[in-house]
């Protein structure tokens, strides 16, 4: 463990143990965090009332960039609109809202996969600008492994087992992620190609780590303590990234000292080397509807991976850094297509989950 990170752990612990009250609060917050996480990360429940809110609860368990949860849902009769929330953009890392619409795609796909388990059928109608309506209808209840996986899927920022996957597992990932002909999927599993892609991710990581605006935006979404995570119920909980959970003022003060180019390069390199493979998604066009389709495809792959006992994590650096996107495209031989999303997968450890905001905060119900 890097020296500064170890020192931080000690500092957090000393400060906490030195103040009995703070220690009690920390333990109480950790218990409240675990209880809330358990209540959020449940499989779709067909007995829940009303079902529409249950559907939205499931949709919000989708992966989403920086866990800003950049969505709003508007229910009108049998239609559920899925809209972007402009207040939850991340303008530095995602100036054109590419990841925002991919995140909406993840939520749309999650709702579609959850619907049958709730006795519903959900069909998406997506406009060119990414505006989405889910048309809902009653259907015979049907459980599925994909629906059950919604509650177990995580973005796991840890090294995985790099051992190659079975051909059958890879075929399942390819089928789930490659279902939509508008979204190309390339699986990178051969060791030399994995290493070459890892170099591109690390190159993107270096560019971002040198960008003070990127680091400031990222820091603003980090929730260093259980208490901070509970208060906001969004953002990147430190524990979910395998980092020490610290009193928020301590974490915020020391973040610039531990989150350095050297420490992040080393951490990222270990995670990239600990990957059985990568999945790169590239939609046929570069517009919100296609970014949303790429997000749907990526979430299908994440859920399929979860059903196989595999972990997934996102390594979008070569897509987020504009100069690297064409390099990745050329390396993959994608022609005119631009890569949209990059994931890595493999058998990995369990890390704490991240939280979600209450359904009431994101859902508006209007009479039809």
Ligand X SMILES: Cc1cc2nc3c(=O)[nH]c(=O)nc-3n(C[C@H](O)[C@H](O)[C@H](O)COP(=O)(O)O)c2cc1C
Shortest CB 168 distance to ligand X, Å? 25
Interface region with ligand X, contact rule CB under 6 A, candidates 46-54, 64-72, 164-172, 260-268: 64-72
Nearer to ligand X, 102 or 165 (CB): 102
Ramachandran assignment for 335, one of left (phi > 0), alpha (psi -120 to 50 degrees), beta (any other)? left
- Position among 55, 117, 149, 236 found at the interface with ligand X (CB under 6 A): 236
Shortest CB 56 distance to ligand X, Å? 16
Residue 306 near residue 149, CB atoms below 8 Å: yes
Peptide bond into 10 cis (omega under 30): no
- Position among 102, 258, 293, 305 found at the interface with ligand X (CB under 6 A): 102
Shortest CB 148 distance to ligand X, Å? 16
Question: Binding marks (x or -) toward ligand X, 283..322, rule CB under 6 A?
Answer: ------------x------------------x-x------
- SS3 of residue 281 by DSSP: strand
Report the C-alpha gap between 263 and 259 in whole angstroms.
6
Interface region with ligand X, contact rule CB under 6 A, candidates 43-51, 153-161, 262-270, 277-285: 153-161
Interface region with ligand X, contact rule CB under 6 A, candidates 102-110, 131-139, 191-199, 223-231: 102-110
Nearer to ligand X, 63 or 239 (CB): 63
Nearer to ligand X, 187 or 301 (CB): 301
Residue 44 near residue 35, CB atoms below 8 Å: no
271 binds ligand X (CB under 6 A): no
User: For the residues of 41-92, what is the DSSP string, one character each?
Assistant: S----TT-SSHHHHHHHHHTTS--GGG---EEEEEETTEEEEEE-GGG--TT
Residue 50 near residue 340, CB atoms below 8 Å: no
Shortest CB 227 distance to ligand X, Å? 18
- Position among 16, 90, 103, 271 found at the interface with ligand X (CB under 6 A): 103
339 binds ligand X (CB under 6 A): no
Residue 75 near residue 94, CB atoms below 8 Å: no
User: Across the beta sheet with 79-84, what order do the strands follow?
Assistant: 120-126, 132-138, 79-84, 71-76, 363-366
- Position among 57, 72, 88, 157 found at the interface with ligand X (CB under 6 A): 157
354 binds ligand X (CB under 6 A): yes
Tell me which residue has its CB nearest to ligand X.
63
Shortest CB 207 distance to ligand X, Å? 13
Of 66, 137, 80, the closest CA to residue 108 belongs to 80
65 binds ligand X (CB under 6 A): yes
Pseudo-torsion of CA 183, 132, 148, 178, nearest 10°?
-10
Q: How many CB atoms lie within 10 A of CB 105?
A: 34
Shortest CB 105 distance to ligand X, Å? 8
- Position among 90, 113, 132, 155 found at the interface with ligand X (CB under 6 A): 155
64 binds ligand X (CB under 6 A): yes
Shortest CB 3 distance to ligand X, Å? 24
Q: How many CB atoms lie within 10 A of CB 108?
A: 26
Shortest CB 242 distance to ligand X, Å? 11
57 binds ligand X (CB under 6 A): no
Residue 155 near residue 244, CB atoms below 8 Å: no
73 binds ligand X (CB under 6 A): no
Write phi, then psi, for 92 (nearest 5 degrees). -75, -55
226 binds ligand X (CB under 6 A): no
First-to-last alpha carbon distance for the chain, in angstroms, is 57
Please work out, in degrees rounded to the nearest 5, the angle formed at the alpha carbon of residue 122 by the alpha carbons of 116 and 126: 150
Chain residues binding ligand X by CB under 6 A are: 63-67, 99, 102-103, 106, 154-155, 157, 236, 295, 314, 316, 341, 354
């Amino acid at each position: 463990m890097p020296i500064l990170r170890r020192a931080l752990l000690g500092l957090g612990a000393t400060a906490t143990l030195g103040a009995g009250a703070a220690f009690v609060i920390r333990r109480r917050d950790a218990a409240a965090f675990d209880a809330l996480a358990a209540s959020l990360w449940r499989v779709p429940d067909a007995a829940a009332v009303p079902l529409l809110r249950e559907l939205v609860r499931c949709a919000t368990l989708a992966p989403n960039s920086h866990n800003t949860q950049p969505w709003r849902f508007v229910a009108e009769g049998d239609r559920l609109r899925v809209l972007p929330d402009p207040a939850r953009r991340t303008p530095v890392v995602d100036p054109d809202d590419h990841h925002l619409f991919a995140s909406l795609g993840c939520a749309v796909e999650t709702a579609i996969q959850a619907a049958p388990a709730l006795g519903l059928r959900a069909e998406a109608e997506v406009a060119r600008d990414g505006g989405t309506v889910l048309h809902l209808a009653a259907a015979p209840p049907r459980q599925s492994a994909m629906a059950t996986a919604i509650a177990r899927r995580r973005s796991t920022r840890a090294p995985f087992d790099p051992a190659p996957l079975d051909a059958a597992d890879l075929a399942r990932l390819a089928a789930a992620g490659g279902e939509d002909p508008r979204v190309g999927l390339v699986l990178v599993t051969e060791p030399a190609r994995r290493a070459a892609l890892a170099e591109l991710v690390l190159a993107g990581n270096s560019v971002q780590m040198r960008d003070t605006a990127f680091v400031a935006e990222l820091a603003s979404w980090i929730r260093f303590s259980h208490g901070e995570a509970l208060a906001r119920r969004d953002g990147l909980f430190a524990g979910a990234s395998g980092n020490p959970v610290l009193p928020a003022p301590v974490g915020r003060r020391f973040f610039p000292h531990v989150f350095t180019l050297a420490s992040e390069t080393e951490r990222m390199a270990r995670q990239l080397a600990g990957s059985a493979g990568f999945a790169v998604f590239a939609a046929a066009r570069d517009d919100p509807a296609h970014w949303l389709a790429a997000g749907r495809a990526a979430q299908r792959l994440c859920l399929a991976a979860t059903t196989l006992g595999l972990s997934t994590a996102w390594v979008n650096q070569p897509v987020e850094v504009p100069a690297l996107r064409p390099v990745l495209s050329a390396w993959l031989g994608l022609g005119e297509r631009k890569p949209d999303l990059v994931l890595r997968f493999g058998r990995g450890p369990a890390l704490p989950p991240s939280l979600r905001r209450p359904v009431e905060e994101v859902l508006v119900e209007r009479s039809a």
